[in-house]
Structure 1
Amino acid sequence: MSTTGEPRRPDVTTVELVGGVEALGVELHEHDERWAGTYLEHRRRIQHALAAVDVDVEHIGSTSVPGLAAKPIIDVVVVVDDITAEEDYLDALLAAGYELRVREPRHRLVRTPARDVHVHVYGRGDPAIDEYLLLRDHLRSDAEDRALYESTKRALLSERWDDTNAYADAKTEVIDAIKARARAARGR
């Protein structure tokens, strides 16, 4: 970021989906304790690649919630100072073996060639980060909402999805309701 705290340049204004739309061909797996280890391996890989950059790295998504069935895709959020300064992080992540999948306003997504680890990059202070952590932390502590979320995912995955983004969008109503309960429980 500049000395004024502003991004170095305007962010992208469109969604670039590298490789186009992809059908969702993954099923839910019971929680696997190895997912935490896979996250830690990628956390080290990311921190090594971005050693010259001030970053925060967190395990998010269903694989970060013990007891929750999930698609076996590890989701990681990486927080950088300036999402528009791709030269600070993107080349290093690509050199570390990740591939660019999505470039959109306020968000970049890189993933492993095997598509089993998704790394979501956001600028520091982006509200999406708090939303991910709110959902993760609530699902870790609330068995009822964890069961609701899992049953919703199971029902949705019984359908055919030609676009992984459409599957994600279909969960939004339930996720929003869970996050509203999480905020209420935290007194927000």
Structure 2
Amino acid sequence: MVDLNEPIHVVSYDPAWAQMGHELIRDLSRQLVWASPDVEHIGSTSVPGLDAKPVIDVQVGCASAHIPAVVEAIQGLGCEPLGPAGVPGREYLRRRSAHPANVHVMERNGQLWKDNLLFRDFLIARPDLARRYARTKYEAADRASTLLAYSALKSHTIAEITTAARQAG
């Protein structure tokens, strides 16, 4: 099994991330046309102006019954499967080539699907919170140079922003 805990770094926002996300959505949609998936660019690279790890995150929503076959098909795009990777209800795949990406496969319109979109859309609508989140990301990256520790250090801020988004919603 491949180690999930990889080195990370946060960089300044790159406007090319939007196009890279669009291209990955296109490629996944073509590869998975038989599953009628919904594919969305999520995570920090989907928020204009937000500094992030230079890795494009997308989520693929499909019927629960299709998830195993979808995961298998995504491997054809050079992604390695890592199972739920600590997040129940998600299958996580990653690609570390010229355009690094994370693909999160889950039930379409399930709570995880909705929360990821809510978080993204709330940060887009609230640049003040996006700036706060960016500070949290840099602080976490300064204290931890690997994914699992970095993720743990910023989890409280993510939970606070998600709660605020639900209350506003």
Q: Report sequence identity in percent.
A: 31
Map 1:133-144 onto structure 2 (within 5 A).
Answer: 133-144=117-128
Once the two structures are superposed, what CA deviation does each residue of 1:74-120 show, in whole Å capped at 9, x if it has no partner?
Answer: 00000010167512x12211122222123464211112242710000
Counterparts of 1:172 and 1:68, CA distance in 2: 17
Instruction: Tell me if the contact between 1:99 and 1:113 (Cα under 8 Å) persists in the aligned partners.
Output: no
Tell me how large the CA RMSD over aligned residues is.
Answer: 1.8
Q: Determine which of 41, 44, 51 is the counterpart of 1:62.
A: 44
Counterparts of 2:65 and 2:140, CA distance in 1: 32
Secondary structure in structure 1 of the residue aligned to 2:34: coil
Rg larger in 1 or in 2? 1
Aligned to 1:93: 74
Aligned to 1:77: 59
Relative to 1, partners in 2 of residues 1:181 and 1:72: Cα closer, same or farther, differing over 3 Å? same
Aligned length: 166
Q: Structure 1 segments of 4 or more deviating over 3 A?
A: none
Once the two structures are superposed, what CA deviation does each residue of 1:37-56 show, in whole Å capped at 9, x if it has no partner?
Answer: 11111111101110111210
Aligned to 2:102: 118
Gaps of 5+ in 1: 1-17
Once the two structures are superposed, what CA deviation does each residue of 1:103-158 show, in whole Å capped at 9, x if it has no partner?
Answer: 46421111224271000000123211111111100100112211110111111111
Give the Å deviation of 1:35. Answer: 0.4
| TM-score, structure 2 normalization | 0.89
Give the Å deviation of 1:72. Answer: 0.4
Which structure shows the bigger proportion of residues in helix conformation? Answer: 2
| TM-score, structure 1 normalization | 0.81
